[in-house]
């Protein structure tokens, strides 16, 4: 019996600790979320500014949507409040408290939410989102792909011409290396700090910025491909 009491006490202590952690996480989110956020498609082709407030509302907290939201993202017409659900869910909800869209944090200050039949949406700090948009603008133009030894193997142009949901057109220049010509990217996007090149077949190449202001294809290899701005 003594052993059973010890086990029961340990289980109760663990449950209490979990409960405290849940309460702390929920409290932290409630404190950190008030402010201006950008609600957008994954690559910001459609955006909406949401101001989350600390003032209580029915079943949650108050918020404001900028007037352009309903035209950019029609589902936002049903959003009247926000709340924190469970351990880490930020909910934008309707008048009955039901989720219009639920978000979970995937990176510091960046939340993802899925609407069935529509796709993934991003909620992130407005200032950070606008900084990313500026970064994307800086990507547009002519690039060269070189190997690790500096040998040029292809030229390409990233444009801001929309080519389907959240992607933009990319054009290869003549006389590309056979492997790149075969890949033949037709679209690109900037996704969480990576340049993503996409082929018609749906194949994706990812490039990450390194310490030398270059963009290296990942995962890295013994014979890397590097994108350089021209």
pLDDT of residue 25: 62
What ranges make up the beta strands (E) of 94-184? Answer: 99-107, 110-115, 119-125, 141-147, 152-162, 168-172
pTM over 0.85: no
Please, which pLDDT band fits residue 14 given cuts at 50, 70 and 90? very low
pLDDT in tens, 65-96: 998 899 999 999 999 999 998 878 999 999 99
CA angle 219, 184, 40 (to 5 degrees): 70
pLDDT in tens, 34-59: 999 999 988 677 889 999 999 988 88
């Amino acid at each position: 019996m003594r052993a059973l009491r010890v086990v029961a006490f340990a289980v109760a202590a663990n449950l209490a600790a979990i409960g405290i952690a849940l309460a702390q996480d929920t409290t932290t989110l409630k404190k950190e979320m008030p402010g201006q956020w950008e609600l957008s498609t994954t690559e910001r082709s459609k955006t909406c500014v949401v101001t989350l407030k600390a003032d209580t509302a029915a079943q949650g907290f108050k918020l404001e949507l900028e007037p352009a939201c309903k035209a950019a993202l029609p589902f936002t017409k049903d959003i009247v409040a926000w709340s924190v659900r469970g351990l880490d869910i930020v909910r934008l909800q309707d008048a009955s408290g039901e989720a219009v869209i639920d978000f979970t944090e995937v990176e510091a200050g960046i939340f993802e939410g899925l609407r069935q039949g529509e796709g993934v949406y991003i909620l992130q700090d407005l200032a950070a989102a606008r900084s990313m948009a500026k970064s994307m603008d800086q990507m547009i133009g002519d690039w060269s792909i070189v190997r690790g030894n500096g040998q040029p193997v292809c030229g390409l142009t990233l444009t801001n011409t929309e080519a389907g949901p959240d992607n933009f057109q990319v054009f290869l220049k003549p006389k590309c290396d056979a492997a790149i010509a075969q890949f033949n990217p037709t679209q690109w996007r900037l996704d969480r700090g990576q340049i993503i090149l996409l082929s018609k077949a749906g194949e994706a190449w990812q490039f990450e910025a390194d310490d030398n202001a270059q963009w290296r294809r990942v995962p890295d290899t013994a014979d890397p491909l590097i994108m350089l701005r021209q």
